[in-house]
Structures are given as structure tokens and as C-alpha cells.
Amino acid sequence: MVNLQINRAIFSVLLLSILSIYLLSEKPANVAYAQANDDIKIIESKATGIDPKKIVFQITLDSQSSIKEIELNYILESPETNVGGTQNIDAQGKSGYQLFITELSTNDSSRYIPIGVTLTYSWTIESDTGTLFTTEKQTYVFLDGRFDWKKKESNTVEVFYYGDDQRGVTGIGAAKDTLERIAGLLQVEVPYKVKIVIWDTEKNGEAAQRSRGSTFDAAVSTLGTRVATDLVHIYETRGSYADTTRHEIAHIVTHVAGDGSIGKIPAWLDEGTAVYAQKTTTGREFALKQAVRQNTLFRPKTEGVGAPNTSKTVDAFYGQSHAMVTFIISTWGEQKFSELFSVIKAGSTPDGAFQAVYGVDLDDFYNQYRNHEGLEPIEFQNTELQTAPKASATQPPYTIATGTKITSDSKTNKQNSSISSPSTSIDSKDSANRKGRSALTVGLITILLAVILGFASFRLVKQ
């Protein structure tokens, strides 16, 4: 966090340079306005997304009193839970016409604010004698400042893209279609507008992705990710990005249908349904066939314990998950499939939900599926598993690729959540109303929508 107080000359140069890279077709961020009380006049306040890693907030004011401190309060808007943070600027006790700038780091080890998120923010200005003024709330849609963004919108979907207009057309078409189809399959409605951000190549979209762990398999690349409950990133548009869009949009619907405050759908069911939403799944079928041949299928009951982390295991995981979902639907029908989700959402374990809806437990189901693939059934020990099904259910296996495992638990408190990953563990509290003074503290307490709500990444092998 960098706090700067700059004189007018530097301000002008900086402003021009920022504006030159911020050539958005729409400019929701640049809300220039004037507010005043007797003592202080706000000339301008705005937010600018420089690139996926940084938002610059700036306020220009004119005051008679000497300003001691300026505090920026921001909230990341989300359909389910709003979190935010505070940035403080030491104003050094000066009066008169002044510009203050604070940079919000949006993608580092302690914080990930995904591109496409809407922030609301306000400033509180303090003099030596106390609070002078709190500005009106402003809204800012965080977009990647390196590109000229365009927007297409329907009543259910909002697509941000740049370059070829076909990207917007394809994105919105695939999203609307999938929302309808998968919401119909799972008998739910997504109660909020879905947002999609489309880059052109994974290389250009890479900076917008959450930092990967060092164990990340370089042969696995990210085509798209659901980064928040209502927000999807599509990084690569060479190839079938309509299918990537279908896959990621399906994750939005599965979350609505199957994730409750206690019950969470297991990753294989989530991913299997997302692949089911695609039109083509060729690469995964090949990997599945190989896994069947080598008898290396994973056991759904313990899925998530040994997470796949290579291109081969990742593809086989998608392939088997998809094949199991297809098998479930063709065996028991769509109506029962939607019930499976709602029973899990109501708090049941996947095992319990299978028993309630299909009359078989997960291992029985797995043996039926193995039989379907021409494999012998397995005699599972009728003992308690070392890993509780619920815990494994909340850890999407692909998070090993993103370097993060999600153990968010919204039942305790909507404003509390915890993140754990192979290398880091952060316990955070909502800081929307918190008066954090330390930049470090602010960094730690700021939680990301995406991290809370979980990643569901969609990956393929680079050719």
C-alpha cells in the first residue's frame, strides 16, 4: 500500500498517464463530483483499475482545516456476502488544494479481488479535531485497465470483453443457454445477474488469475474459472471458449442448487455437472478410457483426499466425474438428479444424500458405475473413513492447481471465513466497518469474494 501526497504538477502528469491507459468504453469508475461542507470541498474522487493487480483510488479536495488523515473504505459487492477493507493515508496536517492517492493491491498472497467485481467505496476525512467529512458512496466495476472493455448485457447475464465483438456475442449466448438448461436440470433459478469477463488469450488473462502455487503443473492451463458466486472469468478464446463458458456458468448454477450453509456438493459432482453442460468433452473421454483400462478410477467417497495435480490426473478426474454424472442421470433420471442437489444443500452429506435419493450409498453407486465401465466391484471395508466426507466435499481437487483449498464455512457467521492452502492459512474477518490502522492488518483482513465462495477451475492440457 502506497500513500502519496503529491503536488499539483506531479498530479497532472500522473493523471494524464493514468487516463491514457484507462480508455474504457464505459467509465463507471470515473465519477467526478463535488461535495462540500463549510470547511472542505471535494473536487473529485475516483477509482481506476490499472491492471489486474492494482486499483488506484484518488481524491482531490480543498480544505481550510489541516487534514490529518484520510481513510478509504471499500466493500466488494456480492450476492451472498459483502466484505471489504480500509486504506489509510497520512495527510500530514496540510490544508488547501490537495490530491491523495492510495493503491489497493488486488492480487497478492493476502488478497484476491477478481476482475469484474463491483466495489462501493467512500472516504472519511479527518482533521486534528476529528472527522470533517465522509463522502457519498461511489460504485466502481473493477476492470483490467490494460484493455478497452466493451459490454453486452441481457436481463440475466452481463459480459465484459475487448476486441472482436464475436466474443461478447458468443459469451452471452453460451451463458444464457447454459443458465436456462442447467437451471432447468437442477430445478433452480439463479437469483442474481451473472457476470462474465472474457480475455483473448491465457497469456493476457494470466495476471487476472489468482497466483498459482509453486507445485502447479506447468502443463495444465486455465481456460476459465468461476471466481465468485456470480462471476466467471474466461481467459482463452482460441478454441472452444463457448464450452469453457458453459462449463463455468454451470458452476454458478450448481452452487445455487447444491451448496447450503452446511452441505456442499462434492467436487466430482460439481465438475461432472459442469462438463455435462459442455457440448464437447473429447479430451476427457480419452483420459477416462485410459483410467478404466488401468483400473485407476477414483473412489467418490474419498474423492478430494488425493487431489489430482498433473495434466493426466486432472483430465482423468474430469472424465470420470462427467461419466458418473451421465451415468446417474441416465440411470435414475433428471428429477432425482435435482433432488440429489437439494438434499445436499439442505445439509446432508453426499453419502447420505445418495442413500436418501437413490437408496444406495456412495460406494454402492461407485460399484454400479464400475460395473457400467466393465470393472469388477470393490469390497469396501465398512468402517469409518479417516477423512470426514463433508471436509473432503468442500475441497475442490483442482484447487491444487490454483494453490488454494477452500474450507469456507458460512454457517458460523456470514462475515467470518477461513482459507487454507498448502502454503498459507489466513483467518479473516469482515472489515467493512473496521477502523484498521495498519496497512498490514488491512491486507490480512481483506477477504476475497472468490476465496470465500470457492474456485472451480476448468483446466486443459496445453497442446
CB of 251 to Zn ion, least distance (A): 6
As a whole number of angstroms, the longest Cα–Cα distance in the chain is: 83
* Closer residue to Zn ion (CB): 426 or 460: 460
Q: Which of 55, 70, 456, 460 binds Zn ion (CB under 5 A)?
A: 456
Nearer to Zn ion by Cβ, of 84 and 397: the residue is 397
Q: Is 458 in the site for Zn ion (CB under 5 A)?
A: yes
> Per CB under 5 A, does 265 bind Zn ion?
no
> Which DSSP helix (H) or strand (E) runs through 98?
strand 83-105
Per CB under 5 A, 460 contacts Zn ion: no
The candidate with the shortest Cα–Cα distance to 303, out of 378, 391, 222, 379, is 391
Q: Is 276 in the site for Zn ion (CB under 5 A)?
A: no
Residue 344 carries which side chain, given as an amino acid letter?
A: I
Sign of CA dihedral 320, 326, 329, 332: negative
* Calpha distance 447→409 (Å, rounded): 14
Radius of gyration, alpha carbons of the chain: 24
CB 269 to Zn ion: min, Å:
11
Query: Cβ closer to Zn ion: 259 or 271?
Result: 271
Of residues 132 and 456, the one with the C-beta less far from Zn ion: 456
**Measured from the CB atom, is 55 or 456 closer to Zn ion?**
456
At 350, give phi and psi (nearest 5°).
-55, -40
Pairing of strands 130-134, 118-127: antiparallel
Which range in 147-155, 271-279, 385-393, 446-454 contacts Zn ion by CB under 5 A?
Answer: 271-279
Binding segment for Zn ion (CB under 5 A), chosen from 18-26, 61-69, 188-196, 263-271, is 263-271
Work out how close the CB of 449 gets to Zn ion at its nearest, in angstroms, rounded to a whole number: 18
C-beta of residue 69 within 8 angstroms of C-beta of residue 89: yes
Of the candidate spans 66-74, 268-276, 279-287, 334-342, the one that interacts with Zn ion by CB under 5 A turns out to be: 268-276
Binding of Zn ion at residue 274 (CB under 5 A)? yes
- Are 157 and 177 within 8 A, CB to CB? no
Closest separation in Å from C-beta 274 to Zn ion: 4
Where do the H-state alpha helices sit in 85-154? none
Q: Rule CB under 5 A: which residues touch Zn ion?
A: 271, 274, 456, 458
